[in-house]
């Protein structure tokens, strides 16, 4: 018995172990940020904590986790002879995350135009400010929900319902 598009779509929408792993990672990183604030504020009598600098290290890990989820989801949902690159353009948030990841991992400057679009500067904590653009409260789990919504959009595109 062959599965229908509807069956495949339902399975892909409700079964995403990669997202469960991503949520665990993001929850740990969010807890790490809370711990950092609590421990720094307890001993930081003179207000010397540089929030952007301190959080940027944790946000590096979050950006890399986001990138891994994005690229693996796009590759997994890609049909034969399709380029997963086409799915990245579905969301400006995805483009921003990939530009931030490219900034972290690449020596090329493919991120310049996107950084300009969002007024991000390399010398002014681009990861911290990029996370803030994605979610004003810098809640990593909420950014994860944006990624889940993007993945669901791809599922609907790849497995349309028969009219």
Q: Which two tokens stand for residue 74?
A: 């796009």
Query: CA–CA separation, 111 vs 81, rounded Å?
Result: 27
Tens-place pLDDT, residues 142-157: 999 999 999 999 999 9
Q: Which two tokens stand for residue 121?
A: 């500067």
Q: Which two tokens stand for residue 115?
A: 């950084």
Q: Which residue has the higher pLDDT, 65 or 49?
A: 65
- List the one residue out of 134, 123, 124, 125 whose CA is nearest residue 98: 134
Tens-place pLDDT, residues 67-92: 999 999 999 998 887 888 889 999 99
Sign of the Cα torsion 52, 58, 62, 68 reads positive
Q: Which two tokens stand for residue 116?
A: 């300009």
69 CB contacts (<8 Å, ≥6 apart)? Answer: 18, 19, 22, 147
Quick check: pTM over 0.75?
yes
**Residue 27 pLDDT:** 96
Query: CA–CA separation, 9 vs 108, rounded Å?
Result: 37
């Amino acid at each position: 018995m062959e599965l229908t598009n509807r069956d495949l779509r339902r399975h892909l929408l409700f079964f995403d172990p990669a997202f469960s792993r991503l949520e665990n990672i993001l929850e740990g990183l969010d807890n790490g940020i809370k711990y950092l604030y609590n421990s720094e504020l307890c001993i930081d009598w003179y207000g010397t904590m540089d929030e952007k600098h301190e959080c940027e290290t944790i946000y590096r890990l979050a950006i890399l986790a986001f990138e891994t989820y994005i690229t693996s989801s796009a590759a997994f949902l890609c049909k034969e002879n399709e380029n997963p690159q086409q799915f990245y353009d579905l969301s400006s948030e995805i483009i921003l995350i990939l530009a931030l990841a490219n900034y972290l991992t690449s020596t090329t400057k493919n991120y310049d135009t996107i950084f300009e679009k969002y007024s991000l500067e390399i010398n002014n904590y681009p990861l911290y400010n990029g996370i803030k653009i994605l979610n004003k409260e810098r809640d990593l789990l909420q950014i994860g929900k944006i990624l889940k919504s993007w993945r669901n959009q791809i599922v609907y595109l790849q497995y349309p319902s028969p009219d």
